Amino acid sequence: MARTKTDMREAVMTAARTTVQSHGYNALSFRELAKEVGIKSASVHYHFPTKGDLGAALARRYTEEGAAYLAELLATSEDATWCMDKYTEIFRSALANDNRMCLCGIMSAELDDLPVEVRAEVDKFAAMNVGWLAQVLSRARSSVSEQDLQEHAMAIFSAIEGAQLVARGCRDIGIYDRTIRAYRATGLIP
Amino acid sequence: MARTKTDMREAVMTAARTTVQSHGYNALSFRELAKEVGIKSASVHYHFPTKGDLGAALARRYTEEGAAYLAELLATSEDATWCMDKYTEIFRSALANDNRMCLCGIMSAELDDLPVEVRAEVDKFAAMNVGWLAQVLSRARSSVSEQDLQEHAMAIFSAIEGAQLVARGCRDIGIYDRTIRAYRATGLIP
DNA sequence: TGCAATCTATCTATCGATAGACAGACAAGG
DNA sequence: CCTTGTCTGTCTATCGATAGATAGATTGCA
């Protein structure tokens, strides 16, 4: 066996993730995916019985990796502005990388076509991000209420997702950069 | 003939618009569409030869109607805050109406699968919105440069699209309301 | 009669999913 | 050392559904 089961699962997920970030969940095809990793579509079904299984695994992994990276940021610096810089950079790099989108952002747009198990993972991604942002904000604004903190965090998350969506739509990463700058200028982002 | 050619075109476009706002461009099917308006799919092709034609017509109409409504707002009141209230209300009503999205917002997420003629219309929608927002802003902030105005307008547009996307993903219109409130609190929205 | 609109019927392509065969790895028993 | 049986991963082949699109017949109003 050239590759272990785990290797194959990883290869499939990596290819799938790229496809979803570029074309969405609906564009994800077992046949195309199989071709990319060099096996047949039936074999993909062996690793991920249904498309919903694959989508949910994808989103779960995406959230886990994101959470790990964000935790690292929090542990590295106490500076809220630095953390936010790094955060906006994550979404920027998706655009810079072949005009891709946040996996869960693009999935949110396809919400009604998603199997329930995928939806659940999309929800968790949003909650994870908002939770992290609230932690960062609490360092910069210690006096506000917990509710205001949550709302502000949600506003930042939404604004950044929107900046990515619109910039992607215009195929112009400069729009993302200028929009983030405007968010900073108003104080939405510390 | 129960309906004129124009009537039929309108009926198809209305049904198509609802479908796209709920499920995206990819989910738009000539057969389903035909069933909804009571004709056969071949007849839909008579009115809109290709799917790209239909998509482009949809986006163009969407932009035209939006522009007309926004022009009316500008003519009705000089108050920037009132105009912005009405503006955010547009995006809110899409969510309130069966968790739908802005037609061009959801299409932006599907960008890579769109025929070029549809993309062009999506671009025009963004430009139209940013132009209007810049006009409103210029009433409230007369001293800033034209470039700052454009960037601020783009930031507002992006932030609102994002709020809609995220709230839709969470199936919770309350998230939209709280996020808009937070945008106001920071001064992003006048 | 002639044109406009819709129809029936069909094509090719692709989708997710499944059944069943097969090859190689590996452990157990002789 | 060799054989036997089991398990794993991939394969071929195919299913039913659906997609966009087209050709050509048909209907009905002016």
Q: Is A118 a member of any domain?
A: yes
With CA atoms as reference, report the closest residue to B176 among A155, A125, A150. Answer: A155
Give the model's confidence band at B8: pLDDT under 50 very low, under 70 low, under 90 confident, else very high.
Answer: confident
Residues 77-116 of A with CB under 8 A from B: 99, 101, 104-113
**pTM for this prediction:** 0.94
Tell me, what amino acid is at B46?
Y
Give pLDDT, residue A35. Answer: 95
Nucleic strand C near CB of residue A24 (< 7 Å): no
Residues of chain B with pLDDT > 90, as a percent, come to 92
Tell me, what amino acid is at B42?
A
Which residue has 């919903």 as its token pair? A52
Tokens of B114: 């769109």
| CATH code, domain with A145 | 1.10.357.10
pLDDT mean for each 10 residues of chain A (190 residues): 71 96 95 95 96 96 98 96 98 97 94 93 96 95 86 98 97 97 96
Tally of domains within chain A: 1
The contacts of residue B7 (CB under 8 Å, 6+ apart) are none
Q: What distance in Å separates the CA atoms of residue A98 and residue A82, rounded to the nearest whole number?
A: 26
Residues 171-190 of A with CB under 8 A from B: 171, 175, 178-179, 181-183, 185-188
ipTM of the assembly? 0.93
Domain extent, residue B127, equals 5-186
Residues of chain B with pLDDT > 70, as a percent, come to 96
- Looking at the predicted structure, is the pLDDT value of residue B5 above 80? no
Q: Is A9 a member of any domain?
A: no
- Looking at the predicted structure, is the pLDDT value of residue B10 above 60? yes
CA atom of B101 to C1′ atom of D14, Å: 39
Q: Are A105 and A66 in contact (CB under 8 A)?
A: no
Give the model's confidence band at B1: pLDDT under 50 very low, under 70 low, under 90 confident, else very high.
Answer: very low
Q: What distance in Å separates the CA atoms of residue B81 and residue A76, rounded to the nearest whole number?
A: 41
Q: Is A27 a member of any domain?
A: no
In the DSSP assignment, the letter for residue A49 is S
